[in-house]
A and B are shown apart, each in its own frame.
Chain A
Amino acid sequence: MRGLPTVLITVAPEESALMRPPRALWPVGFKLGSSLGGQPPLQRQVLLDSLSLFVGPPDPGKIREMRYPESGQ
């Protein structure tokens, strides 16, 4: 078993934290049912930010908060 590097995009960080995700991104203010946002440029940015957690300093179990102007937060 070699394991699978994963990253989670979550809008329910408290619930997700119970699962101890190895990498996770919380786009603050985004709603359930639209966790990457509604516009393609925003979706791309959220996806890129989640992928960046694979190459940055590891911080297992930490849910990274990200704020996007488009979310209104």
Chain B
Amino acid sequence: MRRNFAMGMSRRCVPFTPFDAKLSESMVALVSKAGVHLKDQELFKLDGDNTIRVLPGDVTSADLMVTDGHYDHADADRDINCIFPIDRLRELHRDGLIGGLGDKHIGLGYSLNLKETYEVTAPQVADLIERSKADLVVLTAG
């Protein structure tokens, strides 16, 4: 259903979902296209990879790494929060500014196959997040 909706959407349409709750009561998940994954997960293929890495909600920066060959991720190798702000998000929860973190986050790899990204990967990510505890999603791309 989601895929059909996406394929039939006007090119001028902005797929806006309203938010009318409080940040301090909302669970936030991260979804990143910057090649982020757990250190013990399969590496992304550098020549194109539309597969998904599901990251546990309690993941920390120390558990994560980047596999991506199309941008300089030296800064992220030192501190992954510069592209995937998982520790900062947890601090916001600690300070009562958000309700918590989702029970899963998503890492995605680099791919020029945008048709597959749009029609296959993105709907899969949306389904994973919809079935998670997240109320909001912060997207990053490197």
Contact = CB atoms under 8 A, between A and B. Distances in A.
A38 B82 CA distance: 6
Bin chain A's interface residue count.
35 or more
A54 B140 contact: no
Contacts of B97: 48, 51
Nearest to B13: A20
Interface string A30-53: 001111111010011011101100
Contacts of A20: 12-15
Contacts of A71: none
B139 A8 contact: yes
Given A6-B139, A54-B23, A47 B85 contact: yes
Contacts of A11: 141-142
Interface in B59-75: 71-75
Interface in A1-31: 1-12, 16, 20-22
Contacts, number: 122
A9 B89 CA distance: 14
Contact of B23 (A1, A9, A51): A51
Contact of A47 (B2, B73, B138, B139): B138
A15 to B, nearest CB: 9
Contact of A10 (B81, B135, B141): B141
B13 to A, nearest CB: 7
Interface string B81-101: 111010111011000011000
A54 B19 contact: yes
Contacts of B5: 1
Nearest to A12: B141
Interface of B: 1-2, 5, 12-19, 23, 28, 31, 71-76, 79, 81-83, 85, 87-89, 91-92, 97-98, 126, 129-130, 134-142
